[in-house]
Structure formats: C-alpha cells, structure tokens
Structure 1
Amino acid sequence: MFDAARPPPFGKLVAIALLAGIGAALASPRLLPWPAMALLLAAATVGWWRLRRARALAAFAFGFALASLHAAHALALQLPLDWERRDVAVSGRIVDLPTHETRRTQFRFRVDDDVAQPAPLRGRLLRLAWYDDDPRSRAALKAGQRWRLQARVRAPRGLRNPGGPDAEKYALAQRLGANGYLRDPAAQARMLAPPAGLDAWREAMCERIATAVTTPGSRFVRALALGDTRGLDDADWEVLRANGLTHLIAISGFHVGLVAGFFALCARGLWWLWPGLGRRVPAVAAAAVAAMLGGLLYAAAAGFALPTVRTWLMIAVVAGLRLARRGGHGVDALALAAIAVVLADPLAVLGAGFWLSFLGVAWLLWCLPAMGEGGWRERLGGFVSAQGVASLGLLPVCAALFGQASLAGPLANLVAVPWWSLLVVPLALVGTGLETLHAGAGEFAWRWAAACFEPGWPGFQALAGSRLALWWLPEPRWFALPLALLGAFWLLLPRGTPGKALAVLLWLPLLWPDRRLPAPGEAELVVIDVGQGLSVLVRTANHSLLFDAGPAVRDGFDAGERAVVPALHALGVRRLDAAVASHGDQDHAGGLAAVLRAFPAPLRFAPPDVEGAALRGLRLRTCEAGREWRWDGVRLRFLHPPAHFPYLRNESSCVLRIDTEHGSALLTGDIGEVVERDLVRRAALSPADSLRADVVLIAHHGSAESSDPAFVRATGARYALASSGHGNRFGHPRADVLERWRRAGAAVADTAADGALRIRLGAPAHGRESGAGPVLESRRQAHPRLWDAARRAPGLSYRPD
C-alpha cells in the first residue's frame, strides 16, 4: 500500500517534487553561486536516498540545484560580452540540416575542440548564416561537412515582447554559444572534408525523396520520415497550427512509439515462428529489447530531435521494467520516465513539448485506463474518448504556452492521427528503410505515402480557414493556468460528480483574462521590441492605433509578422482602428503589410507623397500637421509635416501628439534636429502645438542628428523612450544623447536593454500619490528571467526609484 509519508525513491510524488524544483530554479530571476548549488546537490542526493520521510523535499532541492548548475553551465558556454561583434576564424562540422532561404542559408556549426580555435568558442555550438544573392554558392553547404570559416559572432540575443518567442530561452536550452554570419564567404569559406555521419545520411535521404516524389506531398513525406521541415512554408505552418496538427507533422513521439511497437511485434513474430528461441531468451525480453532498438533507430533518423529522445527514454524505461520483470502501473512508469528525462537534461522543461508529452500521457492514463480493452466498438469509443480527454486536458497548457487555442483541433486530430500515423508514416518509414538497403528500392513506398497524404490536405486547409480555426487569447496572469488545470481535472472526474458546471468558472482567468484596458480619458503606450526599428501601440478605452510596424529586411525577418502581430494578440487587441507609417523607410514601414493582413485597419496615415516599397498599393491619408480627432476622451493630433512640406524621408516623419486627462505623449518617428527646432518655433506661436509631454519617443532611435537641446528642454519629459536593436551597427542610441535627456530630468529606457516598454497615461493607481504621473513597466523588469542578468547591456537599462 502506498505510504505518502514514505514515498518510493522514484515514485509519482518524487517525480512531481523533482519537476517542481527544476521549475523553481528556472523561473527564478537569478542564479545562486555554483559552489552553494554543488553543496546543495550533494546533500540533496544523500537525502533523496536516505531520508524516507523527507524524500520529496530532498528531490525538490536536488532538482533546484541540478537545474541551477545546468543553467549556469549553459550560460557559461555563451560568448562573453567583450567578444561581441568580433571577426573570428573557426573550423568545425555542420550539424543538422542547413536551411536554404532566398538570400541566406542558416546552419548550426560545432566548432572543433582544439587549441587552434578561439578560446571562447572551442567545442561550442554556433548558429551561423551565409548571405548571398546567388543560391548556387550556398548550395555547397551540406550536413556533416567540415569547414573553415570567417564569421562575425555575437552572444545569443532575442526580442522580448508579450506573446513573442523567447530566443534567449531557446539558446539556453540548446546550449548555443553564439550567433553570427559569414564574412566574405566566397573568399574565406573553405570546405575541409565532405559530408559524413548521421546528418549526412539524413540529408542524402531527403534529397532522394525530393527526387523520387515530385508531387506537393513530397515535403510532408520528408517531414514525417526524417523530421525535415525545410520544405514547409508559412502557409503550411498556419494550416497546421489552426488545426492543432503541428505535433504530428514534425516527428512526434507517437511516431517513435509506432516504430518501437512494430519492432516489438516483429520480435514476437519471430519467437512465435521459432518457439525454441524462448528457451534462450524470453519473448517478453526480446520484444522489450527490439522496441528499444527500433525507437533508437527512428530517433537517429530524425537527428535525435528532442521529442524523439524524450519518447525513446520513456520506451526504454518501460522496456527496462519488463526486462527486470517488474510490473507497475502506467503512472509509475511515466513518473520514472519523467525522472530519467530531467536527470539527463533538466533544461528540457523549458520546451513546450516536454509538458505536452507528459501531461498528455498522464491525462490518458488517469482517465482511460482500460482504453485498449473490449471489441472494435469499445476500442473506437476509447480512441474518440482519448482525443476528447487530450484536447480538454491539454487546452489550458496550449493556451498558456502559445496564447491560442484551436477549436478545430479535436476534429482534425480524429482524422489525422489514424490517417497519418497508421498509414502515411509507416509507408514513409518503409521507403526509408528499403532505400537504405538498396538505392531506388523505397521510391514506390514514398510515392504511396504522398498519394495517401495529399487527398486530405485540402480539407485541412478549408478547416483552417473556417470559424473553428485559431482563437487568439490575451496573455493571462500567473494563476490562470493552475486554475484552468484544476477546472480540467474537475470536468474529467467520473460522471455524477457534483458541480461540474462550476468548473467552467475556473477557466475564465485563462480564456477571458483582464486586458488591462485604459479607462475613458486615459491612454496606454506599448513600445514593441522590434530590433532596429520602431513600432508603438496606442490604446484608449475602445480604440487602438499602431504607429509604425517595425522592419522587414531582405534576409526574411519581418518584425510585423514575428513581433508586432504576436504582441497585439497577447495584449488583447481585437482590431486596429488606425495605422500610421511615420515614413517609408523599411525599419518603420517594412512590417506593415504583415500587420494589415492580421488587423486590416480602416484608417491608414503616412506623409504626403511618401515613397517606399512597403506602402505601395495602400490607400493612405496624409498625417498633415493640424489633423486631429478624439477617441474616448483622448485627443490625437499630428504636429508634422506641415502643409506643402516635400517628402524628405526621415525629416518628413509623422509626429503624433496624444493628450489625455492625466498626461501627454509625443511620438516623433525619425525627425532630426532641423525639424525639432522648427517644432519648438511653432510651439512658441501656437498653444495647440505644445511640445510639453510626460512621455517622449526619442527621435531616430537616439542618433547623434536628433534630440536637439532646445527640443529636449521644450518637452520637459518624465520618460524618454528609445527603440533600437541590440548591438546595432549605427551605435543607437548614442550615449551623449541619452545623457542629454537625463540631464533634462527624464528617466531613459531602451528596448534593446529592457524589451517592450509599457506606460499608461492614467489616473494614479491605488496606493500612489495623486499626480505622481505615469509609471513605466519594461518587459524584462516585469517578467525577469535568469538569463537576463548575463545579457543586459550596461548603462542603458531603466531602473525604477
């Protein structure tokens, strides 16, 4: 009988405590000194084994110390700040499959671990890019090759916004040492050895599939057979996300289980044909070993992607229990597998796939223990019930992790799981296996796999375009996920459990969170972190305006798509009432097209006679000085450019003033000192053109040609905000410019150091003095991460008093 006071050393309670300790360490804003963590790890190890009554507490401490040490080591692998933007010569091997794009090829590169390499990069994993307009030159890059390269490197750094991906967390989990790009690759890059190893085999197989299968389904066969998703474009991923199918298309753990089960059945078949084998090795042991080997082979074919490794470890645990002739409930095996995974890599909990895998299996084990029993009707009913349980049980986690829910997901999975996993995937794998044995032997199976896949894809595309597609959710508070999980547990209790209807109330903080909208007469500004560019959301009680949309550059990065749109969704913006392109430069207007596809704003403003490829074909109104309107008691007025002002790019930038009952703000675009002095002159002649403002967006990202001293004094700003890219080549914002604003009494903040900046022009909050003015909240300050301290640029970060 289970004794909660004395849990077994690898039981359910210990697994939960271990995960809680790891989560607490990775959620803390700072790391404790590593010697203290090493001592705690040693003490917790002894306590885990010897202190039966305090075993769960010891497991928590062990997880905390282990994760802290792994995180400290991963951060130590990253490039030191004093090596930022250096050119280095390195040699090493291309790992994984290079991704070829229009103007660049990205690849991961493992530097050789020898004294000939720069000391901070020896043995490190880099993510590099080869830029070239001629794709033929970049086609020479193949997985498994050894190269000598000249690269400019920088430590991993990412944008920090509500709803956006956290590139720094990804770099930590992957142990990336640096990012960079090749310098003069045509002259400096030299291949040292041809492709070799597992990655080379994977790329060769992908090329064979592409040659053998010329229909559109070829890209999906490559993804399902070898985890090669390079052929899938943005439209494909949108369909998959809208239908909740991304977990199937890119080598899921379920596919590893299928292969392991197939190998186990083959072993059972051999032992049935030759019963004498059972005298030497029991059939159960043979099936367990075959399952482990089959899963390992498939994980290798997928490049040991994390989902496959995670699932293989689970299979290995179950097989090990069979070999040891130890029974046990499925939940016990799941707990042991979770312990094995996090002991191998505690940073795996940073990935969404870890939680989806284990929570999904845990829900099924708890709700459907007898799913495989009975006849075909009972099994079909069990399969449908499993989809319902998985959809309901994982909905809170998906909503919290991705800020979205797919209402079409349960229906799409009912079709795709058996269709793809039991028909398309086996054919794709059979083709790969036959092709490995003899060139050309697997082509027929690959073609059949594509032929089976293609008829259903238009149906999924239609479902993705329906009203059942993605439901975007605002970013919730921290307590929303635990409450929703409790609600899901309540709803999945046996029939007859009282008060199930009340469980829906526990979902409200997650599915219907407070959007923190301004009250009438108030406004909120959010300077979105878009790198070297600008995008500002202005919200009143019932309206939203976007001032610029960030850059879109030729290498494929579109801040509108990757930063602005996710941030708008996470902030709960349901529509844009107006969009302003301050001028036509790419770093301000480049992302506008992507934003307007998601939020088709009816009002669109730009300077007269504006030029720029990003604005061609759009119906635009002019942001002429004097044009104004009111939303919810807030006045918005353009101060520049005046009538008949010629289009002079930066100098023609729209300047927008926002006046509320509690303060004002000034958005300046890229104007320079000449225009700033003209604004000071006009403000002296007309009170309507006043420059006094509580919040000022520093013009032109803080360049030396902006922030004229007279303009700085005329604004009297409490906060001066800069939008710039970390380590940008222009040196924005200039230190002397920031000091000029500080001397004038303004608190300075920069998106490069602080992430997205959020400030409200509203009534004083409860507990604050009347008239205390707006309060700035930065993304890195409000959501601190342990890797922030190591990467923070000195001297730029805003700190509240």
Structure 2
Amino acid sequence: MRTFILGFSAGAFWLQTQAELPAHAGAALLLACLLFLGLGYTARGGHVVLRLSLGCLFGVIFGYFWAAFLAHAALSSQLALQDEGEDITVVGTIASLPYHFEQGVRFNFAVEKAVSAKVPPLIALSWYAGFRNAATNEVGNVQPGERWRLTVRLQRPHGNANPMGFDYEVWLLEQGVRATGYVRPQPRADMPNRRLAAFVPGFGNVVEASRAALRARIVRSLEGKQYAGVIVALVVGDQRAIPQSDWQVFNRTGVSHLISISGLHITMIAGLFALGAGALWRRSFFIGWQLPLRLPAQKVAALAGALAAFLYVLLAGFGVPAQRTLYMLMVVALALWLGRITSIGHVLCLALGAVVLLDPWAVLWPGFWLSFGAVATMLYAGVGRTAAPMSAQASRWRRLRAAVALGAQTQYVVTVGLVPLTMLLFSQVSLVSPVANALAIPVISLIVTPLSLAGSLLPAPLSDGLLLLAHAIVQMLAQVLDWLGARRFAVWTAPAPPMWSFCWALFGTLWLLAPRGWPHRWAGMLGWLPLLTALPSSPPPGRLWVTAFDVGQGMALLVETHGHRLLYDTGPAYGPESDGASRVIVPYLRARGIASLDGAIISHSDLDHAGGAMSLLENIHVGWLASSLSGGHPAIEARRQSGRPYLRCVAGQSWTWEGVHFAMLHPLPASHDDIALKPNARSCSVKITAGQHAILLAGDIEAAQEAQLVARSAEGELAADVLLAPHHGSGTSSTQAFLDAVHPTLAIFQVGHRNRYKHPKAQVYARYGAMGITRLRTDVEGALVLEFGEGIAVTQYRASRPRYWQGR
C-alpha cells in the first residue's frame, strides 16, 4: 500500500509538469484500474520485489491519469475569448471571506445565472471604490452567503510568468476559479448592482459566514492593534491582513509556519478536546451514567479530537498543512475505533494519499513538501532513539526535563532535516530558526492560540480581555523575533541548488540523522558544502545577460556582466503592500543567490517604473542609485538617510564593467529643472554594448525626446540589436525616424495582460513588424532572458516551461 501511495503521488506530480493533458484521461484511468486488478491478482504469490514494483508502477499510472482526469474537469468551464472584457450581468453568492483593502474589496463569487454569456461557476472579483475617477461608485458591503446581482468584466486566468516566481494561474486552477474580473461601477440603470438575498443556506456559506463573524469580532476587539492580523490568522487562517514587513521578520526567523492554523496548532487543539472529552467520559460514574461501560473512553476521546480538528481545519480554509494533520488524526481515530494498531509510517502515507487524491495540485506548493518532509524526517530520526519508558514514580522535575529534551531533539531534527529542502524551495535558511522556534512554538501553540480561540468564542467582555492578552503576548514575542531577525547572521542565502547538489545534501542529511551506532555521523554535514557555498552564476567576461521580467504593466530588467549587476526600473506598484519588486524581482534575486546589486537605475517617477523602489531598497543592498526622480521621492530620501551614493541621470555619463560599456544617452542636464516636462520626458535612457551587440533601454521617452536623440547623435550611435520599446509601445513613441536610427532586430514590449492603455498600440506594433523586427511581449512570452555573446540567444519563459494550464 505504501509503495502504491508513493507512486500515486509521483504520478500526480509528473502530470503537473506536462505541457498538455493526455486525451481520454477517464478511459485510460478505468483501463489502468482493470489492468491493475488483473495483474495484482496474478502477482499475489509472487516475490516481494515484484509486488512492490508493480504497486509503485501502477501507483504512478493511477496518479498520472487521476490528476489528468481532475485537470480536464477543472478546465472544462472556460470563459470564451470573445467574452473577455465584455459587460456581463451575473447572479450568485459571495463564496469566500472578503478581503477589504484601501481601494475596495476582493472575493470569490459562485455564479448561479449569467446574462448573455457562459460564465464559469466560480469567479474571482474585485470591487474598487472610485473606479477610474468615478467618485459616485460605492463598494457594496458584501458578506459570505449573500446573493448579489452584479455587472462585471471578466478575463481568463492570467498571471505573471517569471523564473522562480509564484504561478498565479495554477493557484486559481486549484481553487476552482476559472475567470477573474471586476465589478462595473455604472451598470445599466435597469439592472444595478444590488443585494438580492441576505443569506443563502449552504454548507460552504455557513462555514465562510462563521469565519467572517469571527474575524469581525477580533477586528472590533483589536481595532488599531499592530498584530490583529496575526490573531485573525491563528483563528480563521486569513493571513492577508499581516503586513509585508511582519512577514519579512517571520521569514528571517523561520517561524512563518506558526503564523497560521498549522498542523501543530490543530494537533494541540485536538489533543485538548480529546483529553477533556475522555476525562469527562471516565468521570460519568459520579453522576450514575456509567458511560465507559457503553463505549470506551479512548474511542470517545478519539472522536472528540477528530471532530475538533475537523472544525478547526474548516476555519483554516483547508490548507495543505491543515489537511495533512487532519487526515493523520482521522486515520489514528479510525484505527482506535476499529481496534487496528497502525504505525505512524502507515498514517503518514494514508494522509499523503488523501491529500493528493483530493488535491493533486498540492504537490506544487512548498507547504506540501515541508509538511510531509518534517514528519518524515522525525520518523527517520526516531529510528534507534526510542527512549526507555519513564517510571511512574519519576518526579515532576525529571518528567519536565525529559519533555524539554524531547522537544529540543525534535526541533534539532526538523531544523537540520529540512535544510536541503528549504534551500531548494527558498534559497535561504534561517540560522536563528532553532532559537526562534524554541521560543515561538510553545508561546504560539500553547498560549496565544488557545487564548485567541477562547476570546473569539466566549461572550464579551471576557472575550475582549482574552484577545487583548493574546495580542500583548504576540507583541512581546514579535519584539524578540525582530531583534533576532535583524542580526546580520540571521539568514544564510545561496542560489537554488541544481538537483545533483540537492541530492548530495539530502544524502548528507540522512547520514547526519542516522540511528545511533552509525559511524561518523558528523561527516554528513560535508554533504551541505556544495549547497551552502555555491555562488550566483554570471556570464563570462565581455558577455552580457539581460532578464526582462514579466511584471505586468511596467518595466524591470536585470543587467548582468561577469562581476557586476544592475537593475533598470523596479516594476509597478500593485497595491499598498505589493509591488513588482516584492513579488517578482526580490524573489528572483534570492533564488539566484544575489544578495546585492552594484547599481540601480530608476528611469522616472511613474509608478509602473518606480513602484517597487522602496521594496527593492529595503530588501536588497544597492551600491549606487541613479534616477530622474524629484528630490522629495521616498527612494531619494531613503538614499540620503542611508548615506549611500545617489546621482541624477545625465546624458554623457558612462562606465565599463568587464568589457561591457554603458552609456547614458538621456536626459540632458537642463531637463531636470524644467517643470514643464512630464516625467516621461526625463526617462533615463541607457545603451549597453557587449562586443558587437548592443541593447537600448529607452524608458518612457516620447516622440519629442526620440527626435532629440536622433538629432544630437552621430551616425550609428543609437544603433542597437535589441530595443526596449519606448513607453511600452504607446502611440506617442517609436517614431519611424527613431526606429530607423536604432534599426533593431529584436524589440521587447514590457506590457501587462489586457492593460487598460492597450499597449502596445496596434499601429506601433505593426510598424515594428513592417521593418522585420522580431517582437516579443512579456504578457505573452513571460520573462525574457537574453544572452549576448557571439550572437544573441533569447529564452522565453513560457516556451521553455510550458504547462497545460497556460494555454489560451
């Protein structure tokens, strides 16, 4: 059974790496079932190796076609391409916990009826306040379970596609969301946006309404408190109110797994309920009921614990760590009820099979691997280390010491055992994690979580006092974590390891955690050396790498020479807590093991270019910064306070790194003092030359600046093989005279999918095509990597990593 489940999980993972789904997945799954039953029957008396091999093989086949079958079903309800961007009136219910942010609210909407179009059954909507300067637009007070009629504009799922980046499209697929969009502020007069019913009964609606009520109660009690979002996350699993600055501290100290309804919290709550139910059941003799004679207390305790875990997991939103813990507890409870003794290895495998069976996309997320990896590590490290049972006469002090020693041993095993996996998934490992977790685990699991749950459920004013106490404890803990995370040695970073390095480190970890008696276990740490000491890759001297990120409607490019790195623009601002740097650039740099940049250029102050500036400066060491920003910009003030170099972009500046020449072509010095100019007109424009090839980064210059460049440049001075299309291909740029002077063979358009500016403009895009210029768009191809050598090699991220859910 265990080999079959492992093969089943491997098959599901294999399917998630495919560019296309197999045809007739249902028929293939049925055929595989029949074949497996037939061969399984004939192999019953065969050799154990044959049985295990057949079990694993058919597990892979089952997993592959089962995941394909569910994927076909999930993709079957698609929004038609011709309906994208059209006004559609839908009637349905609010199907998730709404997330309120500064500009409006986001929620999932279960569609019951749609007018004039076929709409998927579940869509994700945003409702913005003052949408596009519509001051009269008011956001509806949507609550889970309510039925609304809304006029919306939808599109098929689409997300930014970058190396080492978050795959938003498959995340939506896993959630069952097959279209995203926004509520129209001014629909037809005869069909306004309005609530049709206060509540529609249903299991999912009851769960989400309960979560909303608990969240509202916590927010009211902790209004204005800094860590109210943490309390909400511990009670209902909604982490969206936790600011990015706090997540940075939690990640650096390695305690982010605790700031949610984790497996640890679920086990603790289940244990408390099981202990209480068992104690009350056994003491029923005192009231004359003699319940243990009717049903053993152990079974009642197991049932109570499993039920409590189930209810708590519902509050969590059914995340993978919560699922894993729930299934393990369910299997243990079932074994107790049936009188079957089972090993923890069987329990873990059954939980693994249940998670993948119900959610084959779970194998794509770090939480899946970390959850099962942690338990598997503890199982492996426990071999040969079972402590002798303690005498009943042992003192409390001795029992306490034994419990502390066991906890310390477990923390050591998990910390050490997950180092290779953590480096593979995050390219960093927290060195202060053992200390931080030793403090945070008992505080969060044994004190804060019970207080938060009790405060959420008990009547006022007792609830307010408990929630305030829980918040005060979290606040004190956060101060300690902040101090630990601020240490320079808090985090070790290195590039994401290749598979051979990961496997070698994994082998070393198994050696290090081997049972007692294994020779020279300390030597296992040598397997970590290639993992932890790797250096970021870089081009050979004289060569150049340029990565054009897919940041939506904005610009951001990483320029790399043999020994230096430069970032050109920082991407757009998506919201108060999210931008191109925090979501795309910084994760990519960390995955590459790049902890610092030699320089950064912010072409101008528009938010689609400078929106990620502060996130970049807060997370990555930047040697010098050049821009055309005005003096009051936050990035400029931050540089001045830090004392690090800052300079204005001025035509004529130049420098050379390892044989690669950089020349600033625009703006002119006088333009910085000309208040009549728009920010676009002062865009820092840089030409980079590596050998016989060059790339021109023109920012958002428009026709007037293009004409100035052509007029004051010598013949051939503007020529470049690659051109970053000025102003994203807008109608105000890319004049014929400018394109003739640059004469590129390749043009890059950094644009957002279905952006409201309609960049690149059709006539401009056609102008490039008429000149025979190869046109690449980040909204279509994803991130682009250009390698300048004897020629120019281009890697398109979507083409190099195709997945079945990306097809349009």
Whether TM exceeds 0.5 here: the answer is yes
Determine if contact 1:225/1:428 at 8 Å carries over to the other structure.
Answer: yes
Alignment map for 1:49-448 (pairs within 5 Å) = 49-52=37-40, 53=51, 54-112=54-112, 114=113, 116=114, 120-132=118-130, 138=139, 140-184=141-185, 188-194=192-198, 197-213=206-222, 216=226, 218-274=228-284, 276-368=290-382, 370=386, 373-374=389-390, 375-435=399-459, 440=461, 442-448=463-469
* TM-score, with length taken from structure 2: 0.87
Determine helix, strand or coil for the equivalent of 1:630. Answer: strand
Residue 685 (structure 2) aligned to one of 652, 655, 664: 655
Q: Distance in 1 between matches of 2:182 and 2:155?
A: 9
Deviations 1:468-510 (A, max 9, x none): 4343443333444434333322221124534656544543554
Q: Distance in 2 between matches of 1:601 and 1:301?
A: 42
Amino acid at match of 1:207: A
Determine helix, strand or coil for the equivalent of 1:749. Answer: strand
Alignment map for 1:552-571 (pairs within 5 Å) = 552=573, 557-571=578-592
Determine if contact 1:105/1:138 at 8 Å carries over to the other structure.
Answer: yes
Amino acid at match of 1:209: I
Mean Cα deviation higher: 532-541 or 302-311: 302-311
Cα displacement (A) at 1:386: 0.7
Amino acid at match of 1:290: A
In structure 2, the residue matched to 1:15 is 5
Residues 641 and 222 (structure 1), Cα distance of their counterparts in 2 relative to 1, 3 Å cut: closer
Amino acid at match of 2:108: R
Mean Cα deviation higher: 648-657 or 416-425: 648-657
Mean Cα deviation higher: 726-735 or 249-258: 726-735
Determine if contact 2:536/2:592 at 8 Å carries over to the other structure.
Answer: yes
Amino acid at match of 2:403: R
Cα displacement (A) at 1:99: 1.6
Determine if contact 1:584/1:615 at 8 Å carries over to the other structure.
Answer: no
Cα displacement (A) at 1:309: 3.3
Unaligned 5+ segments in structure 1 are: 1-10, 763-770, 792-801
Q: Distance in 1 between matches of 2:238 and 2:388?
A: 32
Cα displacement (A) at 1:757: 1.0
Q: Distance in 2 between matches of 1:659 and 1:786?
A: 38
Determine if contact 1:371/1:382 at 8 Å carries over to the other structure.
Answer: no
Residues 278 and 241 (structure 1), Cα distance of their counterparts in 2 relative to 1, 3 Å cut: same
Determine if contact 2:722/2:744 at 8 Å carries over to the other structure.
Answer: yes
Cα displacement (A) at 1:199: 2.0
Q: Distance in 2 between matches of 1:724 and 1:653?
A: 17
Determine helix, strand or coil for the equivalent of 2:312. Answer: helix
Determine helix, strand or coil for the equivalent of 1:787. Answer: helix
Cα displacement (A) at 1:440: 4.8
Residue 30 (structure 1) aligned to one of 7, 12, 20: 20
Q: Distance in 1 between matches of 2:136 and 2:409?
A: 49
Amino acid at match of 2:219: A
Residues 153 and 683 (structure 1), Cα distance of their counterparts in 2 relative to 1, 3 Å cut: same
Residues 484 and 601 (structure 1), Cα distance of their counterparts in 2 relative to 1, 3 Å cut: same
Cα displacement (A) at 1:754: 1.4
Q: Distance in 1 between matches of 2:220 and 2:76?
A: 43
Residues 341 and 744 (structure 1), Cα distance of their counterparts in 2 relative to 1, 3 Å cut: same
Q: Distance in 2 between matches of 1:717 and 1:70?
A: 46
Q: Distance in 2 between matches of 1:371 and 1:664?
A: 67
Deviations 1:12-61 (A, max 9, x none): 2112111110110001222222x1x2222112223444433322211110
Determine helix, strand or coil for the equivalent of 1:541. Answer: coil
Deviations 1:308-343 (A, max 9, x none): 333222211221122222112110111112112221
Residues 320 and 118 (structure 1), Cα distance of their counterparts in 2 relative to 1, 3 Å cut: farther
Residues 78 and 483 (structure 1), Cα distance of their counterparts in 2 relative to 1, 3 Å cut: farther
Alignment map for 1:431-510 (pairs within 5 Å) = 431-435=455-459, 440=461, 442-498=463-519, 500=521, 503-508=524-529, 510=531
Amino acid at match of 1:432: S
Residues 511 and 785 (structure 1), Cα distance of their counterparts in 2 relative to 1, 3 Å cut: farther
Q: Distance in 2 between matches of 1:607 and 1:241?
A: 34
In structure 2, the residue matched to 1:705 is 732
Determine helix, strand or coil for the equivalent of 1:577. Answer: strand
Q: Distance in 1 between matches of 2:273 and 2:530?
A: 46
Residues 629 and 78 (structure 1), Cα distance of their counterparts in 2 relative to 1, 3 Å cut: same
Amino acid at match of 2:693: G
In structure 1, the residue matched to 2:785 is 758
Residues 601 and 180 (structure 1), Cα distance of their counterparts in 2 relative to 1, 3 Å cut: same
State the identity %: 36
Mean Cα deviation higher: 731-740 or 700-709: 731-740
Determine helix, strand or coil for the equivalent of 1:120. Answer: coil
Determine helix, strand or coil for the equivalent of 2:109. Answer: strand
Determine if contact 2:146/2:195 at 8 Å carries over to the other structure.
Answer: yes
Q: Distance in 1 between matches of 2:578 and 2:150?
A: 24
Residues 581 and 300 (structure 1), Cα distance of their counterparts in 2 relative to 1, 3 Å cut: closer
Mean Cα deviation higher: 40-49 or 414-423: 40-49
* TM-score, with length taken from structure 1: 0.88
Q: Distance in 2 between matches of 1:749 and 1:613?
A: 33
Alignment map for 1:619-638 (pairs within 5 Å) = 620-638=646-664
Determine if contact 2:412/2:434 at 8 Å carries over to the other structure.
Answer: yes
Q: Distance in 2 between matches of 1:429 and 1:217?
A: 15
Deviations 1:521-571 (A, max 9, x none): 222111111111111111112211111111225665421222222223233
Mean Cα deviation higher: 580-589 or 127-136: 127-136
Q: Distance in 2 between matches of 1:230 and 1:481?
A: 32
Alignment map for 1:764-783 (pairs within 5 Å) = 771=790, 773-783=791-801
Q: Distance in 2 between matches of 1:273 and 1:611?
A: 71
Cα displacement (A) at 1:442: 3.8
Residues 179 and 484 (structure 1), Cα distance of their counterparts in 2 relative to 1, 3 Å cut: farther
Determine helix, strand or coil for the equivalent of 1:775. Answer: strand
Q: Distance in 2 between matches of 1:228 and 1:505?
A: 41
Determine helix, strand or coil for the equivalent of 2:664. Answer: strand
Q: Distance in 2 between matches of 1:702 and 1:217?
A: 44
Residues 203 and 63 (structure 1), Cα distance of their counterparts in 2 relative to 1, 3 Å cut: same
Q: Distance in 2 between matches of 1:533 and 1:184?
A: 25
Q: Distance in 2 between matches of 1:409 and 1:127?
A: 38
Amino acid at match of 1:626: G
Determine if contact 1:761/1:774 at 8 Å carries over to the other structure.
Answer: yes
Determine helix, strand or coil for the equivalent of 1:274. Answer: helix
Q: Distance in 2 between matches of 1:742 and 1:372?
A: 77
Mean Cα deviation higher: 43-52 or 576-585: 43-52
Residues 339 and 295 (structure 1), Cα distance of their counterparts in 2 relative to 1, 3 Å cut: same
Deviations 1:343-395 (A, max 9, x none): 12222222322222212111112212637954443332221111111112222
In structure 2, the residue matched to 1:641 is 667
Residues 681 and 508 (structure 1), Cα distance of their counterparts in 2 relative to 1, 3 Å cut: farther
Mean Cα deviation higher: 555-564 or 661-670: 555-564
Residues 704 and 449 (structure 1), Cα distance of their counterparts in 2 relative to 1, 3 Å cut: closer
Cα displacement (A) at 1:279: 3.0
Cα displacement (A) at 1:251: 0.7
Q: Distance in 2 between matches of 1:60 and 1:154?
A: 35
